[in-house]
Amino acid sequence: MIFKNMSFIFLLTLILACGTVSQRKNITYIRIKGSDTMANLTALWAEEYMKSHPDISIYSEGGGSALGIRALIEGEIDICAASRPMLPHEVRQLAEKHNKLGIAFMVAKDALSVYLHPANPVRDLSMLQIKNIFTGKITSWNEISDFFDEPIQVINRNPNSGTYLYFKEHVLNDEDYTSTAIIVPSTQAVVNTIIENPNSIGYGGTAFGPEVIHCRIDGVAPTIENVALDLYPIARYLYLYTIDSPRGSIKDFINWILDIPGQAMVARAGYIPLWRSSSF
C-alpha cells in the first residue's frame, strides 16, 4: 500500500513537473538593458505590460547607455534603453556585427536637472555658471552667492552614462569635466551623495531626487510644462534600440510603449510623454 502511494505521488509529481516545463516553454522572454536614467521607467513598463500579458516575461536592468548598446551589439539583449543617440562608432560596430544599422524609437522626453542640497541658498544658475562649475573654473560658492562661502564639490557620472555624454556635449560644449569631481555609478547615487554633502552639485533626470533642489537655469524651472514648451534649455529624447525591425512580442511591446498605456507610464514615472493627452 505504501509502495502504491509512493508511486502515485511520484506520478503526480512527474505530471506537474511536465506541466511546469510546458508552461515555461510558452513564455516569451524580452531582455532590456541600458540607461540608468531610464531604469525606473523601463521597470515600470515591464511591470505594467506583464500584468495584461502573462505569457511575456520582461527582464530589465540598467548599467548605462554605453553598456546597453554594447550588449545589443553583442546580441545579449533584445532591446537597448539609451538616453542618447548612438555614436558613429557604435553604429559601425552594429553594422559590422549584424549587417544592420539598428532601429531607434523615441519613447519619451526628459530634462536634466542640476541638483543642489536644500541648505544651499542658490536657486538659479546660468548655463555659463554651470559650465564653469563642472569644468572647474568656478570652485567656490562665494563666486555665485554672497550667502554661501563654501568650496564646491562636483558630483559626476561615469563615462558609460548617456547622461554624462549629453551633459558634456550640450552644457560643457565638449570641454572636460573637472578632475576633482566625485564619480558615482547612477543618478540615484548622485542624489544620495548630494544629500550627504551640502556643498555639492550634480545633475540627472528630473524624475529623480524630490529631496534635493532642482535649480532654475537662466530663470527657467525644470517643469514638465517648460520642457514641453521647449523653454527649459537642457532637454532630450529617450530611446529604445533594436538590431532590426522588431517582430512578434517585441514589436507588440514597443507599440504598447508608444501608445496611450505606455505613454501614461512615462507621465507616471515623472518623464515627459511624446504628446499631451487627457488620459495622462
Q: pTM for this structure?
A: 0.82
Q: Alpha carbon 254 to chain centroid distance?
A: 16
Helix 248-258 vs helix 39-52: angle between axes, to the nearest 10 degrees? Answer: 110
155 vs 152: CA distance, rounded Å: 10
pLDDT tens-place string over residues 32-91: 999 999 999 999 999 999 999 999 999 999 999 999 999 999 999 999 999 999 999 999
Question: Domain segments of the chain: what residues?
Answer: 28-108+238-268, 110-235
Q: Alpha carbon 119 to chain centroid distance?
A: 28
Considering the domain 28-108+238-268, what is its CATH architecture?
A: 3-Layer(aba) Sandwich (3.40)
The predicted pLDDT at position 217 comes to: 97
Which of 206-212's residues contact partners 24+ apart within 8 Å by CB, and which partners?
206/110, 206/111, 206/112, 206/113, 206/270, 206/271, 207/40, 207/41, 207/110, 207/269, 207/270, 207/271, 208/113, 208/270, 209/113, 209/115, 211/118, 212/115, 212/116, 212/117, 212/118
Classify domain 110-235 by CATH number.
3.40.190.10
36 vs 161: CA distance, rounded Å: 8
Q: Could you tell me the CA-to-CA distances from 234 to 26, 158, 226 in Å, in that order?
A: 44, 19, 11
The predicted pLDDT at position 15 comes to: 37
The predicted pLDDT at position 176 comes to: 97
Q: Which amino acid, one-letter code, is at 238?
A: L
The predicted pLDDT at position 236 comes to: 92
Which of 70-76's residues contact partners 24+ apart within 8 Å by CB, and which partners?
71/33, 71/34, 72/33, 72/102, 72/241, 72/242, 72/243, 73/97, 73/98, 75/243, 76/31, 76/33
252 vs 58: CA distance, rounded Å: 13
pLDDT (tens digit, 0 to 9) for every residue of the chain, 280 residues total?
443 443 333 333 333 344 333 345 689 999 999 999 999 999 999 999 999 999 999 999 999 999 999 999 999 999 999 999 999 999 999 999 999 999 999 999 999 999 999 999 999 999 999 999 999 999 999 999 999 999 999 999 999 899 999 999 999 999 999 999 999 999 999 999 999 999 999 999 998 999 999 999 999 999 988 988 889 999 999 999 999 999 999 999 999 999 999 999 999 998 999 987 776 7
